[in-house]
Structure 1
């Protein structure tokens, strides 16, 4: 990595460390006056108060940085955090059970003048629900231990082409070109490329006027990782996930793609942050 990229990664790690220590003064000093969080303006005071509520719900909260990488522009960082703790109060609508649990967050930070200007963050709420309800735990620590592959040129372009395949007639060709025969999904199951193709075809069959809009993108060419947040929008043509024909459906996704040594997609970490009708 370049020293410039190391600098912005250090800023991100420092922010997480200050959060873990509840060093509110340091955090406040590192937030830009024009901060937005998930597309909404947020003051430093609001950010801190929100974080304090998390510590009230999880007094033993512990955060580990699992993945972090920056774009060459030295403005954008994408990270995956593992949060552990024991739920003592209601948290994100989930009742406390008294049992320790863990969950994953995917987060995108944009920096300006050394301060956090924009935050996009998604919590894997489904994993929390599963653990509290004593269902199978998601093994977050399975890891993605790929040896560093040879760099694949045009990684950004390959990724954009892949996510835009949901709007194209050549979804099958695009997915087969980009993906390994099996892709590790969220560290717990392998999904065949054919299953990914079928998911896209179902989406294309249910929605018209499909478009993909990238909201945040970080490409780590040295370690062959891509982190992104993006919208998928389309008009419902037939009943789909509880939405009715005629509604304009929007899905917001966070993903990290890990590329194998052969240049093919080998693993995905993915969280769907929201699915909603926007008209």
Structure 2
């Protein structure tokens, strides 16, 4: 018999698979009707839409889970994220550079779905890796 902890872990691993497939519809099925992202209420489609610019710029964007902790209805994760800069991102045209950053995310589940998420990705490191601030 699976424990609640095992169920949350399994649910998250299924979600991560959808994320790494860039499957917006699949991702949205894991969210409550109104999910809060960094304390901002959002519709599930709006949550997945925010990834479209990222995936367009980094079509091979991929989360590798380093650590996953479950405590009650909370899931905390530490990732290494990789991608190749193949499209414009935040005003910087494609460089073809491979990037690697760290990301920390905390989820709160409600009735088996993600109701709140707090996320912190090292976007400064990403911008440095694609050349922001370089003199050309």
Band of TM-score, shorter chain? 0.7 to 0.9
Superposition pairs of residues 26-175 of structure 1, within 5 angstroms: 26-71=26-71, 73=72, 75-91=73-89, 93=90, 95=92, 96-133=94-131
SS in 1 for 2:34: strand
Superposition pairs of residues 163-202 of structure 1, within 5 angstroms: none
Task: Provide the aligned C-alpha RMSD in A.
Answer: 1.9
TM-score, normalization by structure 1: 0.44
Structure 2, unpaired ranges of 5+: none
**Aligned partners of 2:34 and 2:44 also within 8 Å:** no
**Aligned partners of 1:58 and 1:86 also within 8 Å:** yes
**Aligned partners of 1:94 and 1:129 also within 8 Å:** no
Residue number in structure 1 paired with 2:9: 9
Query: What is the aligned residue count?
Result: 130
Change (3 A) 1:129 1:110: same
TM-score, normalization by structure 2: 0.85
**Aligned partners of 1:81 and 1:104 also within 8 Å:** yes
Which entry has the higher C-alpha Rg, 1 or 2?
1
Bigger relative CO (Cα 8 Å, ≥ 6 apart): 2
Structure 1, unpaired ranges of 5+: 135-279
Partners of 1:37 and 1:116 in 2: CA distance: 10
**Aligned partners of 2:74 and 2:107 also within 8 Å:** yes
